[in-house]
Structure 1
Amino acid sequence: MTVGVPAFETTDTPEKNASRAVILLRHAATTGGEGRAIGRTPLPLSPEGLRQAAALCKVMRQCRPAALYASPASRARDTLGPLLDECTVHLIDDMDEIDMGQWDGRTFDSIRQREPEQYNRRGRDMAHFKIPGGETFADVQRRVMTAVRHMAQGPRPAVCITHAGCLRVVACTLTRTRLEDLMSFRFSHLHGLAMTGPSSALHLEKADVTLEDLPSLL
C-alpha cells in the first residue's frame, strides 16, 4: 500500500546506491501500552511522541531521503503523519511488529497468572516459542530480512519506521548474534540502525542511530 503523492525519482547507479544508507527507526513514543503485550494492538502517539514525529518530519523535509517506508501499524504511520500529504510513504506489511496472537493487548501480569507455563516457556525460548495464534521471532526475522533486502534494492538513502521487535531481529542478523539473545538489543523511540552495502550483503553502518545522526546519514 502506498499513501501520499509520487516520490522523487533517482538515477543513481547500483554502485552508488549501495553506498547510501537504509535506515530503520522505531516509531515515536506511544501511550496505553505500559505493562501490556503489544504486537498488532493499535496505540496512539503520546504528547511526547507527537513532538518526536514533528521533529523527525522536519529532518525528512530538510534531508529529502529517496524513499520513505513504514509499518502499516497506526503508530508507525502516525510517526510520519505530518508528511503523508507531501510525499509517498510505502507501507510494508512485513515490517509490522510481532504478532502476539491471543496475548496481544493483554497485561503481562494476567498472562503470567493465567498461563504461567507458556509464559515461562517463552522466557526460555524467546526465538522459537509461538504464542497461540501468533508468530515466533524466527518468523519475524525471515519476513523482516526479506523486506529489508527489498528496500535495499530500491532508491536510497531510505528510511523505514518500524518496531522494536523488527529492529532486534535485524540487529541479530547483522551482528551474527544468536536470535535467542535478541532482548540484549534495546531501541528507544526514534532510535534505530543504519545499513549500507548491496542488498545481498548488507552490513551495519551505525548502531543506535538517533534523530541527530540522520543529516549525516542521509
Structure 2
Amino acid sequence: MVLNLLRRYYYDDDIQNGPCAFCTQPYELFGNNWKDAKTDGDFAIECIDLVALIACLVLAFQFKWVKRQRKATIRTFGYVIATLLTIIYYILVLVNTGLSEANTTTTYLYLLVYIFTVVFWRAAEVLFFAIILQTIVGSTSTGIIPKLKVVNIVAIIVLLLIAIAIIGLYIAIVAWQLTNGPYDENGDLYNLFSKYYNVVVAFQALLLVISIYATVMGVIAMIKERARVRD
C-alpha cells in the first residue's frame, strides 16, 4: 500500500481521471531476452503448432466427405472457423512473446490484445468440442448414441455460458486496469482475478468431463461400426 501511495505521489500529476485514465500510460512487457529455456521451448512449440494448424486448415478442404452432404459441409465450416480462431490466437501469443522478450514498452491499451487472445481461444475450444460431439452422434443412427443428442446440446450450451463468463470477467479485469493502472489499494483487482480463475477452473473441469464423455461415446460408436461391417 505504501508503494502504491508513493507511485501516486510521483506520477499522478500526469494521469487524468476517467474510465480510461491509464490508457496512454506506459506499460512495460518484461522478458528474459531469449535467455530462458522454458520460454524459448514454448515459443518453438507454438511455432510448430501454428504451422500444423495451417496445414490442417488446408487439408480440411481436401476431405472427400466435405462435398457429400450438407451437414458435413456445415461441420467442416465450423471446423475451419475454430481452426482460424486458434491460428489467430497463436499469432497473438507469438507476437506477445516476441515483444515481451524484447522488453518492449507500450501503453495500457496493449492489454486489449490479451482480451482477444482469451476470446479467440475460448471460442475455438467450444467450437471444437461441439464439432467432435456432433461428429460422433452423426456417425451412427442406432443404439444409445443418437439419443444423447440433447445431452450434447446441453453440455455445449453450459460450456458456452462459462466461456462467456470467463471473457466477461477478463474484460472487467482489463477495464479496471485501464482505469486504475497498477494501484489495487482495496483489493478489487485481486478479487476479480480470483473470480476469473475460479471460473476458468470450472471451465477446465467441464472440458475434462466432456472429453471423457466424448471418448466413451467414440469407443462405443467405433465398436458398433465394426460390428455392423462384420455383419
Give me the TM-score of the superposition, normalised by structure 2: 0.30
Task: Flag the structure with more relative contact order, 1 or 2, with Cα contacts below 8 A and sequence separation at least 6.
Answer: 1
Q: Which has the larger radius of gyration?
A: 2
Q: Which has the higher strand share?
A: 1
Give me the TM-score of the superposition, normalised by structure 1: 0.31
